[in-house]
Every structure is written in structure tokens, then in C-alpha cells.
A and B are shown apart, each in its own frame.
Chain A
Amino acid sequence: MKEERFSVGGSPLHRGSVKLKLCGGLLFIPAFAITPSYREALIFLFISLLLTAIARLPLKHVINRLVLANFFSLFLFITLPLTYGGDPFLIWGVPVSKAGFLLGGLIVIKTNGILLALIALLGTSTVSSLGHGLNALGVSDRLTALLLFSYRYIFVIEQEFKRLQRAAKIRGFSPGTNVHTYRTFGYLIGMTMVKSWDQSQRIHDAMVLRGYDGQFFPLTNPSNRSPFDLILFLGLVLASIILTFLGYLG
């Protein structure tokens, strides 16, 4: 599991203020998502590509991520032209719905554009700084704590599960489509839960011992706002508003 792959780098987006990136992203991404037409979607896509270039993201990894994340939109892109109905045209003798084809294409553009913006804006920060940024923007202490602790446990649980899975494999467990396999997986997951449960109690005790009462005190200095951050933020806000208006009225 390769996590936070994009959070390391020296681009202006990596150094930028998390709060402004979050605010800009939380406006830009929904605006992109609800664009009804190709013209605005392509401008949004162009901005996303620009952000990706500014963030100087490793292209190979970005493409890998996009390929994995595209299963759902690809499913729609394949099924919609065949099932959407409306005006058909023929490809190799198969009637294909024009409206379905166009809608599928728009969805593919939006999915990929939004993911690029998501990686460039939020992927360039670490989860912990995003957690504290969300907290500063008004997300409750409890939800922030839940988010940060979940993040912390992912690796613990994943390692624990992999360890048990390896042990099962060494003992000759070969998964197949049968009840024995499913029962074994159930027990492996159950065992992972038992171990993680015990560990979560220990971590909780350790934190209470150190004075944890539900509040976090981030050790990083949050006030590193540069002119670039403000320009980026205003640019995202303006682009979102103008393109949304154009999309719905123009």
C-alpha cells in the first residue's frame, strides 16, 4: 500500500497553505462535478492539468492512479452507449446511442479532471496537516480525531491482516470459491479485529496518560500563507463561479 505518494515535493502547491487549498478545492471540485456541458468541462479539465503541472506530480504514478480509479466511469462509458436509448447510430452494425456516448464521454472527462485536481490540491498535503486544516475550518474535534486515528490505524490493521494471511498461506491455505475459503477469511478478519481492538485500548490508555482529552495541538506552524496561495485561491473561486454560471445559463 503506497500512501501519501504525492505529498512529498517542493512545488508551490506542496508548500502552500492547507486551509486555502482546502477552501479552493472544496469549491472547485463540486463546481467541476456539476458542469452540464462539454465546453466548461474541458476548461475545468485544462485548469486541473495546469494544477497538476504546477504541483510537478510524478506523471507515471498519477496515470497509474487514474487507471485504477477509472473502473466505474469506464463501466458507464461502455454500458451507456448500448443502453441509454434515443437517437442510435451504427458502429460495426451495433446500434449505439449518441446521447449515451456523449454522456459517457463527459463523465470520463469529469472523473479524471476532478481526480487530477484532487491530487494536485489535497494530495500534495499530508493527511495529518489536512486533518488539522479541516479542524481549523470548523470540522468538529471528534470528527477530526476520528479521521486522524483512522489514518493511523490503517497501516497497523493492514500489516496485521497481511501477517495472518501469510501465516495461513504457509500452512497451505489456497483460496477458492467455497465456504471453507470464506470462513477462513472471516476468521482472519475477526482475528485482525481482536488484535486491533486490544491495541486501540492500549493506545487510548497511553494517550489519556499523556493528558489527551479529545483535543489536538498541532505542532506545525499554520501561518505560512504566500501571495501564490492567495492567487491560487482567488483563481479557483473565480473559475468555479464563472464556469458554473456559463454552464447553466450560457
Chain B
Amino acid sequence: MHISEGVLSLPVLATGGTITFFSTMYGLKKLDYDKIMTVAMFSSAFFVASFIHIPLGPGSVHLLLSGIVGLILGWAAFPAILAALFLQALLFQYGGLAVIGVNTVIIAAPAVILGLFFRPWLVQPGKKRFIASGAAGFFSIFFSSLLMAAALIATDAGFAKAALLLVAWSIPVSILEGVITISIVKFLATVQPEILFFSENSK
């Protein structure tokens, strides 16, 4: 889910950078100091997820976990994902610096929007929580792949077919992420539900 350096055009890079700048500022504004430690924890969980390889058919894919990060953190997911992407660029050269704005929007925007939309259901036990976690996990990846395709096509219409391939590939990965998000939420709800209520008591 990382676009590498040198692919996108200046207007696309600038748009991504601007959206990330303002969303991160807003996310940080809503975050008080007591919560920074916990947000950082989710930020590194997101980082580590990219090293967790899950078998899928003949190969394996790595997780993104942006769905659960958005569900639990809400707006704070923007700075959290930005920090994780910066560390990934720095330590493993995944993604990069000039594209960090675009990559953050691609991953964090669907996560935050789905998180805000489904959080009321997340805190209710039963079927609604199940649907909220599955939908957030599935659509966070699927929407991210659509944004990724949009960034590529906005750069050069010639990317269209390659971008479509990426969207098609994201569908099985989205299903997997949905199933895993459901199990994570189910586990957290049983073992330590206060994690799910993280953003509820931060107002």
C-alpha cells in the first residue's frame, strides 16, 4: 500500500502533502498529552503489522491494520499513521519522504472516515460490533486501493490499467483484513474492552 518515490507528479504530491498537513494538525489538536503514549502504541502496531505475513492462497500478504487503528483512534489515526510511515521510510525505505503526504492520505483518510462512521456501532455489543469491525477492516483497504489508483491516474492516465490491477488485487486482501479485524475486535471486547472505548473518554 505504499507508492514508492519518483512515481507521482508534482500536483498529486502537493495535494497529498496539504491534506496530510491539515488533517495531522487537526488530529494532534484533538489529542491530549495523556493519550500520546497510547496513540504511539497503535502507531507502532501499525508499523509492525507490515512485517506480519499472513498466508493467502499460494503466497502471503502483509497486514495493514489501518481499519482498527481508525476505529480506535479516530482523528488521531492521521498523525499516528504519518509517524509510522515516516519511520518505515527511514528504517526500511518503504514509501519515501516526498510521497509521505500522499501515502498518509491513502491509508489514513479511509481509516479515519470509516472509524468515525462505525465507532458508534463498535461500542455496542453483538451484531453491530461485528459488522462495524468487518466493514472497517474490509473497506479501509479497499478504499485505500481506490485512492492509490486515483493518485496514479491523476499523475498520468497511462497508469490506468496498472492501477486497476492494484484495485483488483486489493479485494482478497481486503477480505482477509476484514476477517482479521473482526477477530481482533472480538478479542479486545472480551479481554480489555476499554481499548475499544479509547476515543470515547478523551473528549
Could you list which residues of chain A lie within 8 angstroms of chain B, going by C-beta atoms?
Answer: 1, 3-4, 25-26, 29-30, 32-34, 65-66, 68-70, 72-73, 75-76, 79-80, 83-86, 97, 99-100, 103, 106-107, 109-111, 113-115, 118-119, 122-123, 127, 130, 140, 142-143, 145-147, 149-154, 156-158, 161, 175-177, 179, 181-187, 189-194, 196-197, 199-201, 203-204, 207, 213-214
Contacts and interface: CB of A to CB of B under 8 A. Distances in A.
A161 B4 CA distance: 28
Nearest to B160: A83
B91 to A, nearest CB: 5
Given A143-B28, A150-B43, A182-B176, A29 B96 contact: yes
B99 interface: yes
A105 B83 CA distance: 30
Given A33-B98, A110-B6, A181-B55, 5 more contacts: A69-B4, A80-B158, A114-B98, A156-B44, A190-B188
Contact of A146 (B49, B83, B195): B83
B40 A152 contact: yes
For the complex of A and B, the 7 pairs showing the least CB-CB separation, nearest first, are: A186-B183, A110-B6, A190-B187, A149-B40, A83-B161, A33-B98, A153-B44
Query: In terms of DSSP, what is the predominant structure of the interface of chain B?
Result: helix
A103 to B, nearest CB: 7
Contacts of A100: 158
Interface of B: 2-10, 13, 24, 28, 31, 33-34, 36-45, 47-49, 51-52, 54-57, 63, 65, 79-80, 82-84, 86-87, 89-94, 96-99, 156, 158-162, 165, 176, 179-188, 191-192, 195
A48 B41 CA distance: 34
Contact of B99 (A3, A33, A175): A33
Contacts of A70: 4
Given A185-B180, A186-B181, A197 B92 contact: no
A187 B96 CA distance: 31
Given A72-B4, A182-B183, A190 B191 contact: yes
26 contacts: A1-B51, A29-B98, A33-B8, A69-B93, A72-B2, A72-B7, A76-B162, A79-B161, A80-B159, A103-B156, A107-B6, A107-B7, A111-B5, A113-B6, A115-B96, A118-B96, A118-B97, A143-B79, A146-B40, A150-B40, A153-B45, A183-B183, A187-B184, A189-B65, A189-B184, A214-B33
Nearest to B164: A83
Contacts of A200: 37-38, 40-41
A203 B37 contact: yes
B180 A186 contact: yes
Contacts of B91: 3-4, 127
B3 A72 contact: yes
A30 to B, nearest CB: 4
Contacts of B156: 103
B184 A179 contact: no
B54 A182 contact: yes
A175 B55 contact: yes
Contacts of B165: 79
Given A34-B9, A190-B188, A197-B192, A175 B54 contact: yes
B62 to A, nearest CB: 11
A185 B52 contact: yes
